[in-house]
Amino acid sequence: MRALIISDVHANLEALERVLEDAQQQGGFDAVWCLGDVVDYGPDPGPCIEVLAEQELLCVAGNHDYAALGKIGIENFNTYAAQSALWTREQLGADHVAFLEGLPKVAARNGFSLVHGSLRDPLWEYLVSGPSAMETFRRMSTRFCLVGHSHIPFVCAEAEGMPRFDVLMDGQGVELGEGRIIANPGSVGQPRDGDRRASYLLYDVEKGWLAHHRVAYDVSVTQERMRVVGLHPYLIERLSYGR
Ligand code: ZN
């Protein structure tokens, strides 16, 4: 069994399709595990949901999925994020809403917990520090946990005293041994680690192996679509820099 692990698609269809294609070329996958924020910021929320719904999919909800549903207020969002959430809301048909409404906050499969933010605060907490990782390790009933939300690909190993974070580089593999780990596949549709290429993980169950991959996609296609639908220039420009 092989799983494609993705997060933070953010309605970027061009990036999502490139990732699905590239993952096929990297040996393929039987299932897609998605860590939330399927929609918002990008120009194609509906089509991204439709492409994912065609997969053998396990997906949890992100804060932006909830914002698009109106399940959380947008008063804590900055101007461009609030504007984009409202625009996204208008694009969703009944099937899209039903898909997003059906997403759980936490899921588990093959020894992995899946959550957007953290097990302490599934929708909102950025798991990027030792103390926040410890809080999630404390709550894990599985050996491994997958998170998204920060858009930074990393693996975090449980270690005596303080968890150890390693940023994942393209092509890097992680052997799953006895120790517990938390991993983040990075973002498909809006990377924020200075590398604009889409980011994902492939998990090989039999080999006990996670492999990190980056794949370039045509950023200008997504940016042009964003201009056409009138999304904020800040959101358009940041895709060029992976910030
Ligand atoms: Zn996100």
Tokens of 115: 């959550």
| Fold entry, domain 2-238 | Purple Acid Phosphatase; chain A, domain 2 (3.60.21)
- Give 206 Cα–ligand 1 centroid separation in angstroms: 30
Q: What is the C-alpha to C-alpha distance for residues 216 and 53, in angstroms, rounded to an integer?
A: 23
Rounded Cα distance, 72 and 22, in Å? 34
For residue 165, which of 194, 187, 203, 136 has the smallest C-alpha distance? 136
CA of 194 to the centre of ligand 1 (A): 15
Question: CB within 8 A of 18, min separation 6: which ones?
Answer: 198, 215, 216, 217
Ligand 1: centre distance to CA 213 (Å): 18
**Residue 127 C-alpha to ligand 1 middle, in angstroms?**
13
Mean pLDDT estimate for the chain? 96
Q: Would you state the pLDDT for residue 127?
A: 97
Span 142-165, pLDDT tens digits: 999 999 999 999 999 998 878 999
- pLDDT of 57: 98
How many Å separate Cα 221 from the centre of its chain? 21
Distance 159 CA to ligand 1 centre (A): 27
How many Å apart are CA 32 and CA 22, to the nearest integer? 13
Distance 108 CA to ligand 1 centre (A): 20
Q: How far is the CA of 143 from the centre of ligand 1 (A)?
A: 24
* Residue 150 Cα to ligand 1 middle (Å): 7
Q: Which residues pair with residue 57 across a beta bridge?
A: 32
Q: How far apart are CA 8 and CA 126, in angstroms?
A: 13
Read off the pLDDT of residues 170-211 as tens digits, 9 standing for 90 and up. 999 999 988 999 999 999 999 999 999 999 999 999 999 999
pLDDT at 76: 79
pLDDT at 39: 98
- The CA distance from 213 to 215, in Å, is 7
Tokens encoding 43: 């120009």
pLDDT given at position 160 = 81
Q: Beta strand pairing status for 112-115 and 57-59? A: unpaired
- Tell me the backbone φ, ψ of residue 178, rounded to 5 degrees: -80, -30
Q: How far apart (Å, rounded) are the C-alpha atoms in residues 181 and 10? A: 25
Helix (H) or strand (E) holding 3: strand 2-6
